[in-house]
Structure 1
Amino acid sequence: MLAPHDTAIASLGPCTFPSPLRLGGRADTALPRFVPDGARVRFQVEWEAEGQPAAEVCFEKAGPREKLFFDPRQTRAAIVTCGGLCPGLNNVIRSAFLELHYNYGVPEVLGLRYGYAGLNPAVGEPPLRLSPELVDTIHEEGGTMLGTSRGPQPVDVMVDFLVSRGIHLLLCVGGDGTLRGARAIAEEILRRGLSIAVVGVPKTIDNDILYVERTFGVQTAVDKAREVLDAAHNEAKSAYNGVGLVKVMGRDAGFIAAMATLASQEVNFTLIPEVPLRLDGPRGFLETLRRRLMARHHAVVVVAEGVGRELLRDEPTETDASGNPRPPDIGPFLRNHIVRHMRQAGVPVDVKYFDPSYLIRSVPANSEDAIFCDALARHAVHAGMAGKTNVVIGLWHGVFTHVPIPLAVSGKKQVDPAGALWKSVLACTGQPAVWE
C-alpha cells in the first residue's frame, strides 16, 4: 500500500526567481494560471461505502510554478532519448526545446546523442546545440533525431559530463530502463550536493510504468496494430479454416494486445503475459481454436511477445544491452503448434503469421499522441525549472502529476485480469477467462 511519504517529490531548494511565463495568479480570471506548489491529485478516487481510506495519498500536481529555482537566463538544459523507438520522440524533443527557448528564454539547449552514451565522452558523440531551425519539422517524422541506445553508462562519468558542460536541467525521455538510469544520475547529483535537476518523460508503447496512467506512443502503436489485425482478419476469413496470427510487443504487459483487440473488434483470441497460456487439454487454447474453426472456419489471434514463458523455458534466452531478458519468440512457436495440432486432429488449417513489432513503434505520432507529447514535454520543463528532481511526469485520473522516479520503477504496471480492460477484451472476443 502507498503511504503519503511515498509520493513526496525531491527539490533542489527554495524557488526565488520569478517565472517569465505570462500566466495569472489566483485572482486572475482572464489568463491561464500558475499551479500552486501545494496542489495535489488524489491517488484513490473511489472506495467501498464502509469508509474512506485510512491515509490520504496524493500526487503533486504538475504545471508551471510562479517561482523558479533556476534563473532562466543563466540556465543550460539538455535532452536525451534512450531505449527503443516510440512514436512521439521527436514531438517531445521539439516541444521541450520550444518551451525552454521561447517561453522561458533559456539560452542553450543541448541534444545528447544516442542515449546515455551521449553522456560518456569516451564512447559517445558530441551533443547538438538545438535551434528552432533544427527542430522545425522533426515532429513529422518517426524515430528520434538525437538517436537512441540501450544500456547504462558509469553514473559518475555521466554526472561529471553534466558538470563539465554546465548543464542544470536534464530531461530523460524513455521507459523503465531509462528512468532507472535517471534515478541513478539524480541520486549521484544529490550525493554530491549539486544543483542539477533530472526529470523523466515516460516513453514506452508497452504502457508498463507504474503510477502513470498512460505513456506516450501507446495510442499510435494501437492504431497501427489495429491495421495489422484488420489485415489478419481479411486474410483469415478469405481462406478455409484461415488463422490470422499476429504478434505484438508486450514483454511484461499486454496493453497493446488488449487495446488493439478492442479497437479492431475482429479478434477471437487475445493472449497476454498476465494470463497463463495452456496449449493442451480439452479447455486449452489449441482445442478451443479448433472448435472455433469448426464453427466459423476462420479466427484471428493476437499474442503479446511475453506470452508463454512457461512453455518456452527450455528455449535459449538472451538479454539486451539494458540487461532485460529477451523472451524466446512465441510467434513461430505458436504457429507451429497450431499447424501440428490441427494436422493431428485431421483439420485443414491455413495460418498467416504477422510480426509488425518494429512497424508500430517507428511511425510518426498520431494526433492524440502528438497533443499528449506536447503536454508531457512542457510539464517536464516546468518541473525542472522549479527545481523538481528525480521525478517523472505522470497522468492520473486525467491530470498531469509529478511521480517520484523511485516509485515509478519499483515494479511494472500490468493488465489486471480482474479489471475493466480485460473484462472488455473477454466480452469482445468471447474467449475463456482462463486456459484450463
Structure 2
Amino acid sequence: MSDTNPFEIERLGASQYESPLKLSTTKGDHLFNFVSETDRLVFDLSLERYNHCLNTGETPICMEQAGPRQHIFFESNKTTAAIVTCGGLCPGINNVIRGLVMALHYFYGVKRIIGIPYGYEGLNPAKGHGFVELTPEKVRDIHQFGGTFLGSSRGAQDVGIMVDTLQENHVDMLFAIGGDGTLKGVNALGEEISKRNAKISVVGIPKTIDNDIDLIDESFGFETAFDVASPILRDAHNEATGAYNGISIIKLMGRDSGFIAASAALAMPVVNFVLVPEMNFGLEGENGFLNILEQRLQQKKHAVIVVAEGAGQQLFEHRQEIKDASGNIKHEDIGVFLKEKITAYFKGKETPVTIKYIDPSYIVRCAPANSSDSVYCSRLAYHAVHGAMAGKTKFVASKVNNKYVYVPISEVTKKRKKINLEGEFWFSVLQSTGQPFSLG
C-alpha cells in the first residue's frame, strides 16, 4: 500500500490476459469503455481541500474507480470463485449472490462457482457443511426472497484452516458479503494468503443493515430497512392516536448507529421522538425525556417514539458487558426499559396512558430488497467481480461521493460510521419530530 495514498489497492500481480468483455477504448463510439488503472476519483470534494492542493501542489487523495479492466489477472475459463455470507441477515444478500454468479458466469465465463454455507463455518471442514455448486439456474429466483440462500453464522474461524480450505479447493477468488467483523475476517484471510505467497483475491461487499460502515455512502439493504419500517411507524401512529394519551414505542435496529431509526422517522413524519445511540439523553429533570413527553401529551394527547436498539445504554445500572459470537456488545432491551419507565412515571402522576410497544426488527431485516436496493446490489456485485478478475485483493466494492470505487478493507474498518449530531441530517430529524436538541 502506498505511503501517500491510503486508498491504494493491493494487487496479486500483473494482468496478462485480455478481458473477454467486448468493450471500447475509444471515446465517442457509444460503447462503454474499459476503466483504466490510472482512473481515479477525488475523495475530499470540499473547496477548502481543493484550494489547499492548488496552493501547495499537493496531490489530492484519490480512490480507484471501479469497473472492468482491459487486461485481467486470472484466466477466466480456468478460474474458481467462492461466495460466503456472514453475520446478521439484511435485505439484498440474495441479490448480491445472484449478481456475483451471473457476472462471473456470463461476463467472464467462469466455469466453477462455489457457495460456502453458513458463513466462515463453511470454510472449516470440521463443521461438515460442505459446499454448494452455484449456477445461474440455481440462483435465478433467489433475489425475490429475503435472508440468505447460503445461510450465515457469527463468529471467527481459524484463519489458517480457512486458507487451507481455499487452497485445497483451488479457489482463486473469495467474495465475502458481510459487515465490520466479516470484512476484518476478509483482511485477515488476505494477510495469511500473502504470507503463503498464494494468488487468491479476497473481496468484501459491505453488508450492514445499520449503515455503519465508515467512508462509504451507504451499505446495501439499509434503504429497504427504513422503507419497510416506515409503514410500521404509520400504523403505530394510528395506534397512538386511537387512545387518549396514547403512546407508541417502536424499537428499530441500530446497535451503535441510529441511521435506520432516524431515516424511518424522516420517511414517515408522524414520529415525535427519535432516540439513537449517538445521543446521551436522560429521563429525569426539567429537560429530561419523561418531562418533555408529558408536555407532548398535554398538548397533543398522543406520542410516537422511535428508539434504536443501542440507544440509552447508559441508563442501565450494573450493566455487564456481554458480547455475541461476532464480538458485538449485547445491549440491554431499551424498548422494554422505556415502556416500564414511562408507565411508572405516569402512574406516579396519576395520569392515564395507553402504551403500545412494537419490535419489528426481525421482520425488517428479513425483507426482500426493494427496487432501489436491488439495483444497488447488482451494481456492487458486478464491480466486485471486475475488481477480482483484475487481480485486486483486500478491497471492498462500494460507492463514495455517489461514484463506484474500490476501497481497501483496512480503511473502512478503522471505525464505525455514526450520525453527526451537529450535521444537517440529524437537524432534519429534529425539524421533522419537533423534539428538543437535547434531552436531559
Instruction: Give TM-score scaled by structure 1 length.
Output: 0.97
Q: How far apart, CA to CA, are the structure 2 residues paired with 1:93 and 1:386?
A: 20
- Residue 116 of structure 2 contacts residue 130 of structure 2 at CA under 8 Å; is this kept in 1? yes
Q: Which deviates further from its counterpart, 391-400 or 38-47?
A: 38-47
> Which among 55, 60, 63 is matched to residue 59 of structure 1?
63
1:43 CA displacement: 1.2
For 1:256 and 1:397, locate their aligned partners in 2 and report how far apart those are by CA, in whole Å.
20
Distance 2:392 2:50 in 1: 37
Cα distance change, pair 414–3 in 1 and its aligned pair in 2 (3 A) = farther
Count of matched residue pairs: 435
Kindly state the Cα deviation for residue 40 of structure 1 after the two structures are TM-superposed: 1.3
Alpha-carbon contact 2:275-2:311 (below 8 Å) kept:
yes
**Distance (Å, rounded) in 1 between the aligned partners of 2:358 and 2:177:** 29
Tell me, yes or no, if the aligned pair for 2:5 and 2:62 is still in contact at 8 Å.
no
Q: 2:257 touches 2:276 (CA, 8 Å); kept in 1? A: yes
Number of the residue aligned with 1:10: 10
Is the contact made by 1:202 and 1:216 (CA closer than 8 Å) also made in structure 2? yes
Match of 2:249 in 1: 245
- Tell me the residue number matched to 2:143: 139
- Which residue of the partner structure matches residue 174 of structure 1? 178
1:286: how far off? 0.7
Q: Does residue 45 of the first structure (1) align with residue 45 of the second (2)? A: yes
**In structure 1, distance between residues paired with 2:44 and 2:130:** 45
CA displacement at 1:343 relative to structure 2: 1.5
Q: How does 1:115-126 map to 2 (within 5 A)?
A: 115-126=119-130
Distance 1:50 1:360, change over 3 A: closer
Indicate the residue corresponding to 2:351 in structure 1. Answer: 347
Secondary structure in 1 matching 2:399: strand
1:416 equivalent in alignment to 2:403: no
Alpha-carbon deviation of 1:430?
0.9
Contact 1:114 1:124 in 2 (8 A): no
Report the RMSD for the aligned CA atoms in angstroms: 1.5
Deviation for aligned residue 1:410: 0.5
Cα deviation per residue 1:136-164 (whole Å; 9 max; x = unaligned)? 11111111110000001000000000000
Q: Secondary structure at the match of 1:382?
A: helix
- Distance in 1 (alpha carbons) for counterparts of 2:223 and 2:247: 26
Match of 1:210 in 2: 214
| TM-superposition CA deviations, 1:277-317 (whole Å, max 9, x none) | 11111001110000000000001000001111211252344
* Equivalent in the alignment of 2:289: 285
Relative to structure 1, the CA distance from residue 4 to residue 207 in structure 2 (aligned partners, 3 Å threshold; closer, same or farther) is farther
Matching residue's letter, 1:30: H
Amino acid at match of 1:140: Q
Listed one character per residue, the Cα deviations across residues 204-258 of structure 1 (whole Å, up to 9, x for unaligned) are 1100001111100011101111111111100001110011100001000000011
Residue 4 of structure 1 and its aligned partner are, at CA, apart by 4.2
Which residue pairs with 2:305 in the alignment? 301
Name whichever of 271-280 and 43-52 sits farther off.
Answer: 43-52
User: Which deviates more from structure 2 when the two are superposed, residues 24-33 or residues 270-279?
Assistant: 24-33
Corresponding residue number in structure 2 for 1:224: 228
| Mean CA deviation greater in 100-109 or 44-53 | 44-53
Is it true that 1:74 corresponds to 2:78 in the alignment? yes
Q: Give CA-to-partner distance per residue, 1:107-149, whole Å, 9 cap, x none.
A: 1000000000011101141111111221111111111110000
CA distance in structure 2 between the partners assigned to 1:393 and 1:140 by the alignment: 23
Amino acid paired to 1:310? Q
Q: Deviations over 1:42-61 (max 9, x none)?
A: 11112349933565111111
Q: What are the Cα deviations for residues 348-394 of structure 1, in whole angstroms up to 9, with x where unaligned?
A: 11110000111101011110010000000111101100011000112
> CA 1:3 to 1:313, structure 2 compared with 1: closer, same or farther past 3 Å?
farther
Q: Aligned partners of 1:128 and 1:337: how far apart in 2?
A: 49
Alignment of 1:255-266 (within 5 A): 255-266=259-270
- The question of whether the paired residues in 2 share the 8 Å contact of 1:390 and 1:404 is answered with yes
In 2, are the aligned partners of 1:200 and 1:392 still within 8 Å (CA)? yes
- The 1:49–1:380 alpha-carbon spacing in structure 2 relative to 1, beyond 3 Å, is closer
Q: Does 1:428 align with 2:407?
A: no
1:317–1:328 Cα contact (<8 Å) kept: no
Q: For 2:245 and 2:3, locate their aligned partners in 1 and report how far apart those are by CA, in whole Å.
A: 54
Deviations 1:170-212 (A, max 9, x none): 0000001110110100111011111000000011110000111
8 A Cα contact 1:271 1:303, kept in partner: yes
CA distance in 2, matches of 1:236, 1:22: 59
SS at match of 1:341: helix
**Shift in Å, 1:28:** 5.4
Relative to structure 1, the CA distance from residue 235 to residue 160 in structure 2 (aligned partners, 3 Å threshold; closer, same or farther) is: same
Correspondence for 1:275: 279
Please name the residue that 2:34 is paired with. Answer: 34
Match of 2:399 in 1: 395
For residues 299 and 215 of structure 1, the distance between their equivalents in structure 2, rounded to whole angstroms, comes to: 31
The DSSP-based 3-state class of the residue aligned with 1:5 is: coil
State the distance in 2 between where 1:50 and 1:113 align: 47
AA aligned to 1:311 is L
Pairing 1:127–2:149 present: no
Which whole-Å CA distance do the structure 1 matches of 2:114 and 2:221 have between them?
23
Please say if residues 256 and 310 of structure 2, whose CA atoms lie closer than 8 Å, have aligned partners that are also in contact. yes
Q: State whether residues 4 and 58 of structure 1, in contact with CA within 8 Å, keep that contact through their aligned partners in structure 2.
A: no
SS in 1 for 2:315: coil
Q: Determine the structure 1 residue equivalent to 2:161.
A: 157
Give, in whole Å, the separation in 2 of the partners of 1:49 and 1:126. Answer: 51
Do structure 1's residue 364 and structure 2's residue 368 form an aligned pair?
A: yes
Letter in 2 for 1:13: G
Q: Please say if residues 74 and 107 of structure 1, whose CA atoms lie closer than 8 Å, have aligned partners that are also in contact.
A: yes
